[in-house]
């Protein structure tokens, strides 16, 4: 099988997983209560992206180890897993426990979890203990927290979650095409030698058009997004998504690797596919909170 066919099949599987995980609840709604379908659908989405997050933790740990950086890999998994589910309960567990209790639990437990890494380091022989602490906490901050925030976006609106993915795909695709056609001025050569300002501007323009034209077609349920809200979402997905791509490029250059992993033949790893989402999701979630206030 040639590289193009491999890349096409791998990309198609990726898109099907994303769409299937987002709309699993809608499929269930045909035969069940809409409220039950929403909760079950969100839990299916959560489990799938929890597994994706675990793969992301593996990629961070493996690449740091390849570079020769020391971290407590077992603790990185443990902290990442606990962080994800604490944040999930806080963000989506309004039917399980009181909102105030969920917020208090999160505010207390997450800092305590981070302190555990500091305490464990006392018993480890390590020439650079604070660097190891940072490397151990990195997967929780960079991978699992955004994944948990994605479950909140999905819980509020499957349509919004789908549109965020679409906007990121539009931005990436048209940034590449515009840069290939008219790109002249390098954007941030130190981190990504192929990115140009012209390509970035092209991606932003088409992202805004897609959001304003097609965003209102997606059901945002109780959020009632206006075209202004879709414009803000497009700006977040394009600007923060591009910066997220650069952050992952910085990480790969630091580790001396071309791709973060090999789980998606022709596309690389989880970090390669979700780098823009990891940076955009927290800001989209923050915008939702601002709207709800």
| pLDDT per position as a tens digit, 164-194 | 999 999 999 999 999 888 878 888 777 777 8
pLDDT of residue 25 exceeding 60, the answer is yes
pLDDT of residue 51 exceeding 90, the answer is yes
Q: Hey, CA dihedral for 68, 245, 236, 77, is it positive or negative?
A: negative
pLDDT of residue 203 exceeding 90, the answer is yes
Residue 79 CB coordination number (10 Å): 23
101 confidence band (pLDDT: 50, 70, 90):
low
pLDDT of residue 251 exceeding 90, the answer is yes
Distance, in Å, from the CA atom of 137 to the CA atom of 249, rounded to the nearest integer, reads: 19
Distance, in Å, from the CA atom of 164 to the CA atom of 112, rounded to the nearest integer, reads: 32
Distance, in Å, from the CA atom of 26 to the CA atom of 127, rounded to the nearest integer, reads: 53
pLDDT value, residue 211: 95
pLDDT value, residue 105: 65
- Segment among 24-33, 138-147, 226-235 with least mean pLDDT: 24-33
pLDDT value, residue 29: 60
How large is the greatest C-alpha to C-alpha distance in the chain, in angstroms? 59
Average pLDDT for the chain: 88
Q: Hey, CA dihedral for 178, 183, 185, 190, is it positive or negative?
A: positive
58 confidence band (pLDDT: 50, 70, 90):
very high
pLDDT of residue 95 exceeding 60, the answer is no
Mean pLDDT of 217-232: 83
Is residue 57 within 8 Å of residue 84, measured between CB atoms? no
pLDDT of residue 239 exceeding 70, the answer is yes
Is residue 151 within 8 Å of residue 259, measured between CB atoms? no
- Segment among 35-39, 54-58, 118-122, 150-154 with least mean pLDDT: 35-39
């Amino acid at each position: 099988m040639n590289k193009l066919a491999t890349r096409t099949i791998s990309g198609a599987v990726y898109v099907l997983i994303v769409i299937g995980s987002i709309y699993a609840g809608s499929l269930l709604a045909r035969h069940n209560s809409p409220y039950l379908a929403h909760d079950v659908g969100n839990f299916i989405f959560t489990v799938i992206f929890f597994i994706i997050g675990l793969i992301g933790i593996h990629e961070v740990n493996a690449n740091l180890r390849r570079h020769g950086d020391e971290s407590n890999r077992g603790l990185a998994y443990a902290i990442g897993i606990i962080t994800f589910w604490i944040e999930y309960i806080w963000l989506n567990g309004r039917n399980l426990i009181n909102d105030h209790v969920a917020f208090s639990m999160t505010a207390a437990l997450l800092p305590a979890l981070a302190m555990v890494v500091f305490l464990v380091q006392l018993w480890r022989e390590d020439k650079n203990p604070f660097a190891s602490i940072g490397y151990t906490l990195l997967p929780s901050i960079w991978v699992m927290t955004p994944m948990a925030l994605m479950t909140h976006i999905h819980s509020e609106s499957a349509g919004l979650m789908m549109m965020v993915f679409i906007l990121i795909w539009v931005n990436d695709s048209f940034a590449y095409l515009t840069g290939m056609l008219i790109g002249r001025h390098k954007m941030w050569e130190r981190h990504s030698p192929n990115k140009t300002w012209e390509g970035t501007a092209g991606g932003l323009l088409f992202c805004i058009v897609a959001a304003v034209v097609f965003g209102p077609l997606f059901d945002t349920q109780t959020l009632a997004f206006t075209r202004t809200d879709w414009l803000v979402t497009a700006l977040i997905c394009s600007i923060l998504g591009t910066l997220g791509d650069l952050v992952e490029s910085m990480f790969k250059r630091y580790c001396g690797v071309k791709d973060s992993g090999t789980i998606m033949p022709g596309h690389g790893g989880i970090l390669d596919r979700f780098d823009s989402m990891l940076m955009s999701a927290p800001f989209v979630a923050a915008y939702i909170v601002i709207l709800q206030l």
